[in-house]
Structure 1
Amino acid sequence: MSIASHNESVSPIGVGDYAAGPAEYFALLKPRVMSLVIWTALAGLLVAPTHVHPVIAVASILAIAVGAGAAGALNMWWDADIDALMARTRLRPIPAGLIDPREALFFGLTLSFLAVLTLAAAANLLAAALLAFTIFFYVAIYTMWLKRSTPQNIVIGGAAGALPPVVGYAVATGSVTLDSLILFAIIFVWTPPHFWALALVKSGDYARAGIPMMPNVKGADRTRLEILIYTLVLVPLGILPWRMGIGGDLYAAVAIAAGAGMAFMAMRVFRIREGSRASKAAMQLFAFSILYLFLLFSALVVEHGFGLIERFGL
């Protein structure tokens, strides 16, 4: 199917009847995902040994946020056909008939260009190139290719969601180092148990849309085992920033406590396999995994943010 013809017949209402306002365009940006991108990118920027001026930092984080939103809009444009088939996504602006798919495409491409250009001007070319690659990887590699072709879609595609702290670090240093790659690795390994927990509950949705998520292809029991394995790798990986000197005592306490919670919930998902209790355990893991990642990166932001406040007397 050509890009020109993709999603031409998604909307239930006719062209010219779209009722999009600021709220609908904002929804295209996937604001919840964007907020996590902002937070992890900020952590990457703050942990860097070289600090940037607050004005440059704010402009850079804003550009990264807009880039993340642009990627979300392009994802919704391409996936509007399958979004219309799933209860979880059918009320998104394009399948709901609120935004013309062509307008969403233009919106996403325009924001992508502006975000990359702004980051190049505010920070440096490496950070801008990494942001451009993140958008490309999420839209072209994950959304257009991996998502509909392999149950490893989340595993490989998770690289896009793991790149923001690397971009933030590059804003400050103009380089990619082991420190930023550790933050990348944490999000990369966190992604499969996070999404597969949801997929266990929403497997019917994914089946209707023809998306080969792990529970639909390998079965629920195999998915539970892989969730547990990834989580057991994630927990010590989450503590590594403390051992490497990126995080301090606050980070260590948060990583150990939150990691214990992740491991406990992943074990519950592995052991409880039938009925409503299994679905409840999976959704609890899904919800807690968001909190887990937020707490880890919040600890980094707090520890390094105080130093930045002192440095500039803010």
Structure 2
Amino acid sequence: MHVIEVEGAPPASDQPMVLAIGKFDGVHIGHQAILERAKEQQGTQAILGVMCFWPHPSWVLARKEGYDRWLTPFEEKVRRLESHGVQRLYHVHFSRAYASTTAEEFVHRHLAKLSLTHVVVGFDFRFGKGGVADANKLAALCREVGIPVTVVNPVEENGTKVSSSQIREHLAAGRVEAAEALLGRPYSFVGKVVSGDKLGRQIGFPTANLAELDEYVLPGTGVYAVMVEVLGESDDSVRGNWFGVMNAGYRPTVGGKEFRLEVHLLGFDGDLYGKQLRVSLLRRVRSEKKFQGLEELRRQIADDVTFSKQMLGLT
């Protein structure tokens, strides 16, 4: 995929292109419907492009809590979009200055220079200064420059519109299966294994302590059954996918003060320090709680492992 970083207006292009526009945070099933409609308009000559915005407008304009994090940070978004056939990505830097762009300027000075054969957006697309222009306004302005627009109807699950904000709410509440249904895949994030206090090893359940997660939306506190992929590993005994049990929380039994993600890989016996892990959330096992001591904690973790193995069909 060709990624173009954009400050202000994008560079002119003479390559025919169908362009889908939106934030695409999560690349969930609603976004996938937009991409599929865009593909239908491609024909044989046009490439498939996406225009998305960063940082999140809700963070830039309102400092909305949690919106400095993403369901799909940049590298993850690129990977997901590429898997859906996107060939060009306009990664637009959203700032307060950019937010002052009028609807007319966005169409006549930004889109009109891109040799677009079609534009595709979701039904709730808003743009222009103050977010006052909607998808109908986009279609009207694009007609002035000869660009057809398709507006994609909402995708619903159980009578509710699929949205990135809804997925965020599910993850915060630990409803990872509901998040998976809206994403079309288990929610995942990538972290680096760093040294911890080695408490898990002391009680018989060594864990990988994950760091470098500042860009990701993280799940609410609790214990989760997960799938773990060890990335960039050539050793056959380490690489590949492993089932695991992950604790997300503050470790109240040992007086923890900071939120941590610690993963125990089932059946794994090796060194993970410094490695990158992709963790996919499969099911929430239980809430985080404070135990009377390490022995009670050890017994509970053993029960968590047994339950997870049963749930995953490993016993």
Tell me which protein shows more strand as a share of its residues. Answer: 2
Q: Does the TM-score normalized on the shorter chain lie above 0.5?
A: no
TM-score normalised per structure 1: 0.32
Using the size of structure 2 for normalisation, the TM-score is 0.32
Q: Which structure dedicates a bigger proportion of its chain to helix?
A: 1
